[in-house]
Amino acid sequence: MKLDPNQNYTFNKYFENGYYSEDLADYFGYQLVLVNLILPLYQGELDRLAELRDRITEVLPYVPLTTELARREVIISKVVLELIHYTNVQIRIEFGIKVSNLLQGNLDYLIRTYKTNQLLVVEAKYEDLTRGFTQLVAEMIALDR
């Protein structure tokens, strides 16, 4: 894999160009290791989950989810905003970051808890999750740097 450091590469460009996630990680000096994670379960009551599901299900027949923006507006934003109710996390939407010409762009959602120094990046992809994962790799590298 060869990138031109004089060119501008946005996170989305990595998605569009179809680079392999492993090659991108290697180019920036990282190693991509795929493992199964066992994440902790939320111990509180999910008292608004049924309402959220009903609100989303109600509008789905009327809104085609053919674009990233449609999916973000109709589904993902609703779910992400519910996280505030349950976890009191900080959410940044369209969070801009520029490390270099090779690592720049906007994160759809950056969710961060400062108490435990954990973060989550949500990328609203649908049509090609493999290439979307490559974009996410670029975003993670940028955040690390």
Q: What is the pLDDT of residue 61?
A: 96
Helical H segments across 42-92, by residue range: 49-59, 68-71, 77-87
Query: Residue 113 pLDDT more than 90?
Result: no
pLDDT in tens, 90-109: 899 999 999 999 999 999 88
E-strand spans in 30-127?
Answer: 90-100, 103-113, 118-122
pLDDT of 137: 93
pLDDT reported for residue 126: 58
Residues in CB range of 85: below 8 A, 6 or more apart: 48
Is pLDDT at 127 greater than 70 in this prediction? no
Residues 27, 1 contacting (CB under 8 angstroms): yes
Q: Looking at residue 118, what is its pLDDT? A: 73
**pLDDT tens digits along 52-89:** 999 999 999 999 988 888 888 999 999 999 988 888 88
Tokens of 82: 């519910």
Provide the pLDDT for residue 25. Answer: 97
* More confidently predicted of 18 and 48: 48
Given a cut of 90, whether residue 130 has pLDDT beyond it is no
Q: How many angstroms separate the CA atoms of 4 and 21, rounded?
A: 18
pLDDT of residue 138 exceeding 80: yes
